[in-house]
């Protein structure tokens, strides 16, 4: 089989796998862009540059990769998202229903990278990955069903890159991103309560049903392509130390799709707010900037650190507009900019084996329980990670990594018009298992 054919198939598999997302970094970002980095909690990502995963973290790092290299990685992400109701209400009455079960679960994300040295100064690269993703799915009858049932956000990012070696001390890199995003959001609609706004209680109970007993469902599905760029620089400060900087731009979308309804009572059949229609929403995913340091100590030890800033305040609100004239649906988000701090350590047993470990603190953009919503019940998290590399043949290696993310108990007190106030506590955690194969030739 010819190499180009293998690459085409790998790109296809990576793209499909990238469509199943479970957010692990703050907000709905996915930092799982290679498996070697996971073992260090992705510390030093912009400076390590030991494999083609650097195409995402800092394209300038390709200048450290001789010849050609292919990297394929897969990540299993297990999220626990468990809610406990603590007095949720609607119109002064308790919201009925259970706690929603585990709204998380296991999902897969894949990455594929190719680095190609053209000459002593110039490298080309291609990355296929999923920088953003989210999936929460609650049981149908749960207490917060009028705010959220199923939420999925999935991305595929195609990222060609170029790197130029200015000198032995300085390298520069640049890439462009063509990124597809698709989102599906569903929730229940309390037809019994809505009826009370237009008809007497006796009529509503007879024709529609009492409040919280006659739910319809709405599903929004939309997608779009967006375009952005990333750029980076790598500085070799000394034989034992290098510093990397990286910037990824915002990407703006106008998602277009449909709003569909099911189990609608005939009383509302003529109401535009219950009719299937086209829908659209503007969404901007944030830009980010990283500074990383990589330091060796003798032949055995490597230490790396990283500071990353993410511009989450661009996600201020989400407004869905409907083509049939139904009122727009606006959800205030009011997210804040965030910081991520990480530290990693490697020990090289010999030329074949390397042990990795790392810690990180990842700040949440959600400012308070009033803004936090059940689609993204996010909170700051602490990473503990371990991993290892095995070079089993000339130019070939395998990396494995595992991380557990500790998330403190997370309170929510979120009100939406016509949906009530969801009050309670989330108990969340994340486990990540990653596998990567690298082949250089």
Give pLDDT tens digits for 195-232. 988 889 998 999 999 999 999 999 999 999 999 999 99
Q: What is the reported pLDDT for 331?
A: 85
Is 2 a residue whose pLDDT tops 50? Answer: no
| 361-388 pLDDT, tens digit each | 999 999 999 999 999 999 999 999 999 9
Could you tell me the residue range of the domain that residue 41 belongs to? 3-440
Q: Mean pLDDT throughout 334-359?
A: 97
pLDDT score of 292: 98
What radius of gyration do the chain's Cα atoms show?
Answer: 24
Return the exposure string of 369-388: e unless at least 16 CB atoms fall within 10 Å of the residue's CB, then b: bebbbbbbbbbbbebebbbb
Judge contact between 79 and 428, C-beta under 8 A: yes
SS3 for 278? strand
How far is residue 196 CA from its own chain's centroid? 40
Q: What is the pLDDT of residue 206?
A: 92
Handedness of CA 17, 19, 21, 27 (dihedral sign): positive
CA–CA–CA angle 78, 79, 83 (5° rounding): 155
Q: State the total domains in the chain.
A: 1
Give the SS3 label for residue 169: coil
For residue 367, count other CB atoms closer than 10 A to its CB. Answer: 12
Q: Which two tokens stand for residue 266?
A: 């005939």
For residue 150, the domain's CATH number is: 2.40.160.60
Residues 6+ apart with CB under 8 A from 270: none
- Please tell me the distance from the alpha carbon of residue 8 to that of residue 351, in angstroms, as a whole number: 32
| pLDDT score for 294 | 98
pLDDT at residue 344, rounded to an integer:
98
Secondary structure class of 226 (helix, strand, coil): strand
Cβ atoms within 10 Å of 184's Cβ, excluding its own: 16
If you average pLDDT over residues 348-357, what whole number do you get? 96
Is there a contact between 284 and 252 (Cβ–Cβ < 8 Å)? yes
Do 16 and 154 meet the contact criterion of CB atoms below 8 Å apart?
no
Mean pLDDT of all residues in 273-288: 96
Tokens of 317: 């609100």
pLDDT recorded at residue 24:
67
CA–CA gap between residue 354 and residue 346 (Å, rounded): 7
**Residue from 253, 311, 324, 249 nearest 282 by CA:** 253
The yes-or-no verdict on residue 11 having pLDDT over 80 is no
Give every CB contact of residue 231 below 8 A, 6+ residues apart in sequence: 59, 172, 173, 174, 175, 246, 247
What percent of the chain stands above pLDDT 90? 88
Q: What is the percent of the chain where pLDDT is above 70? A: 95
**CB under 8 Å to 235, separation ≥6 — which residues?**
169, 170, 242, 243, 244
Is 0.75 surpassed by the pTM of this model? yes
CA distances in angstroms from 191 to 159, 167, 203, 213, 272, listed in the order given: 46, 68, 13, 8, 14
Which residues, 6 or more positions from 330, have their beta carbon under 8 angstroms from its beta carbon? 317, 318, 319, 320
In sign, the C-alpha dihedral spanning 136, 139, 144, 148 is positive
User: In this predicted model, what pLDDT tens digit does every residue of 101-150 receive, in sequence order?
Assistant: 999 999 999 999 999 999 999 999 999 999 999 999 999 999 999 999 99
Tokens of 189: 């609609």
Residue 4 has pLDDT above 80, yes or no: no
Instruction: Render pLDDT for 30-42 as a digit per residue (tens, 0 to 9).
Output: 999 999 999 999 9
Lowest average pLDDT, out of 69-73, 148-152, 360-364, 413-417, goes to 413-417
* Contact status, residue 51 vs residue 36, Cβ threshold 8 Å: yes
Q: What is the mean pLDDT of the chain?
A: 93
Q: Look-up: residue for tokens 């086209």?
A: 278
| Model pLDDT, residue 40 | 97
User: Which helix (H) or strand (E) segment is 240 a member of?
Assistant: none
DSSP class of 334: -
178-205: pLDDT as tens digits: 999 999 999 999 999 999 888 899 989 9
């Amino acid at each position: 089989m010819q190499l180009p054919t293998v690459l085409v198939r790998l790109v296809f598999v990576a793209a499909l796998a990238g469509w199943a997302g479970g957010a692990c970094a703050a907000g709905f970002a996915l930092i799982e862009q290679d498996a070697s980095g996971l073992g260090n909690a992705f510390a030093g990502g912009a400076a390590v540059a030991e494999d083609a995963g650097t195409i995402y973290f800092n394209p300038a790092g390709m200048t450290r990769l001789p010849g050609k290299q292919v990297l394929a990685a897969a990540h299993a992400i297990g999220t626990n998202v468990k809610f406990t109701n603590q007095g949720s209400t609607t119109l002064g009455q308790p919201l009925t229903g259970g706690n929603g079960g585990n709204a998380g679960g296991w999902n897969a994300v894949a990455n594929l990278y190719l680095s190609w040295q053209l000459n002593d100064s110039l490298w080309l690269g291609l990355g296929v990955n999923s920088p953003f993703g989210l999936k929460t799915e609650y049981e149908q009858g749960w207490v917060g069903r009028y705010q959220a049932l199923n939420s999925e956000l999935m991305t595929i990012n195609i990222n060609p890159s170029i790197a130029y070696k200015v000198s032995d001390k300085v390298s520069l890199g640049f890439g462009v991103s063509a990124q597809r995003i698709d989102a599906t959001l569903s929730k229940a609609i309390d037809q019994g309560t809505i009826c009370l706004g237009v008809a007497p209680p006796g009529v509503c109970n007879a024709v529609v049903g009492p409040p919280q007993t006659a739910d319809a469902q709405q599903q929004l599905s939309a997608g779009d392509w967006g375009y952005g760029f990333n750029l980076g620089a790598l500085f070799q400060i000394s034989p034992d130390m290098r510093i990397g900087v990286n910037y990824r731009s915002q990407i703006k979308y106008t998602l277009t799709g449909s709003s569909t309804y099911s189990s609608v009572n005939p009383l509302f059949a003529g109401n535009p707010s219950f009719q299937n229609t086209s829908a659209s929403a503007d969404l901007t995913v944030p830009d980010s900037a990283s500074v990383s340091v990589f330091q060796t100590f003798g032949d055995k030890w490597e230490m790396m650190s990283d500071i990353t800033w993410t511009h989450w305040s661009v996600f201020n609100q989400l407004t869905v507009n409907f083509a049939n004239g139904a009122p727009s649906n606006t959800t205030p988000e009011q997210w804040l900019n965030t910081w991520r701090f990480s530290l990693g350590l490697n020990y090289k047993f010999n030329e074949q084996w390397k042990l990795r470990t790392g810690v990180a603190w990842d700040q949440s953009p959600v400012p308070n329980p009033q803004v936090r919503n059940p689609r993204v019940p996010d909170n700051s998290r602490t990473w503990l990670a371990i991993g290892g590399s095995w070079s089993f043949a000339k130019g070939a290696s395998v990396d494995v990594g595992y991380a557990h993310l500790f998330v403190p108990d997370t309170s929510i007190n979120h009100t939406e018009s016509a949906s009530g106030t969801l009050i309670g506590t989330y108990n969340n955690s994340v486990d990540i298992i990653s596998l990567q194969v690298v082949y250089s030739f």
